[in-house]
Amino acid sequence: MGHQVNPELVAVRADKLFFYSPYNFLRKLDVQTQQQLFGTGQAEQYAADATHRVFEFAQQGATVQFLYAFLPWDTDFFQAPVYKVFTALFADTTPASLLAAAGEAFRRQLRQEGAAYCFAELPAEDTRVAQALGDAGWRLVETRLTYFHDAVATFEQPRYLVRLAQTEEAAAIGSISAAARNEYDRFHADQWFAGGKGDQFLARYASAAVEGYCDAVLVPDEPGLSVDSFLAISDLQAHAAGLNTGFSRVVLTAVGPANRGWHLKLVSETVQRARHQGADYVLMTTQATNRAVFRTCEKLGFRVGSTSHVLAWSL
């Protein structure tokens, strides 16, 4: 049996762990519930999941724990062992040099387990974990901004003709996703995904979205216009139930040259769909370099909610 999560370290890190909630910026949502679902509560129960692991480093009377998970689906797809870090736990008084040593020891542990790739998505507020991983040789591959719309009930914009993508279109939607390359997203900025691996992953993800992985995939439905764009939506039903609210999240979108200008239209219709369903919030995450998405968000009344960094390590 591996190490168990140290509850004292969880308590010490509570202020930072709150920012691991993907909704920490939505002020009407209960803070304690968010902590329980995504922060301290998730950290305390982390070892209960069979795919979750706890690595512990102790030196000079201080303890550092890394909470991380083995990702079976990603491992199968990439034919290489893939892991993801949730966070690290340590006392406020832990010096940077000891965190760096812990990061080095954790990297050796990953090698020992046969890991080929490991990544972490950290809230920008958790600077010490990002610095510890950086000191241990991890690389920054993406910075993300999450936008939100919280005036869904009063949203007013021109309507656009869209429809739900059909199951038989799954392969075509996957091809659109693979072709719409963004050099700044994780799958293209990180050289581990070179050789088309990132494009293949995004194609499979988009196809799976149409096949039922997501709650809806919107495509244009204008007469005479070929489909060269899509927007996949998750209604985050489990999270919504736990927080007593309603969500719609844009999880993946791509626009090809034949549908130029359709990103704004698809996002607008996503908000219209959320309004029709009685949802309270629409969320969308993009790279901090994606100025086209910034303009769409500004035109439609979205606001910036949070910033996160994606770091990675690989053999």
- Span 109-144, pLDDT tens digits: 999 999 999 999 999 999 999 999 999 999 999 999
The 10s digit of each residue's pLDDT in 148-172 is: 999 999 999 999 999 999 999 999 9
What pLDDT does 99 receive?
A: 97
149-306 and 7-137 share a CATH fold: yes
Cα 126 to chain centroid distance, Å, stands at: 16
What is the rounded average pLDDT for all residues in the chain? 97
Crossing angle (nearest 10°) for helices 96-113 and 127-135: 60
Q: State how far the Cα of 44 lies from the Cα of 48, in Å rounded to an integer.
A: 9
3-state class of 188 per DSSP?
helix
7-137 maps to CATH 3.40.630: yes
Could you please state the CATH topology (level 3) that the domain comprising 149-306 is classified under. Aminopeptidase (3.40.630)
Q: Is 60 exceeded by the pLDDT of residue 61?
A: yes
What pLDDT band is residue 2 in, cutting at 50, 70 and 90? confident
Q: Which of 218, 193, 315 is nearest to 269 (CA)?
A: 218
The 10s digit of each residue's pLDDT in 189-219 is: 999 999 999 999 999 999 999 999 999 999 9
Q: Is 70 exceeded by the pLDDT of residue 1?
A: no
Domain ranges of the chain: 7-137, 149-306
Cα 37 to chain centroid distance, Å, stands at: 16
pLDDT-above-90 percentage for the chain: 99
Q: State how far the Cα of 11 lies from the Cα of 4, in Å rounded to an integer.
A: 15
Question: Tokens standing for 270?
Answer: 């996503």
Mean pLDDT, rounded, for 297-312? 98
Model confidence, pTM: 0.96
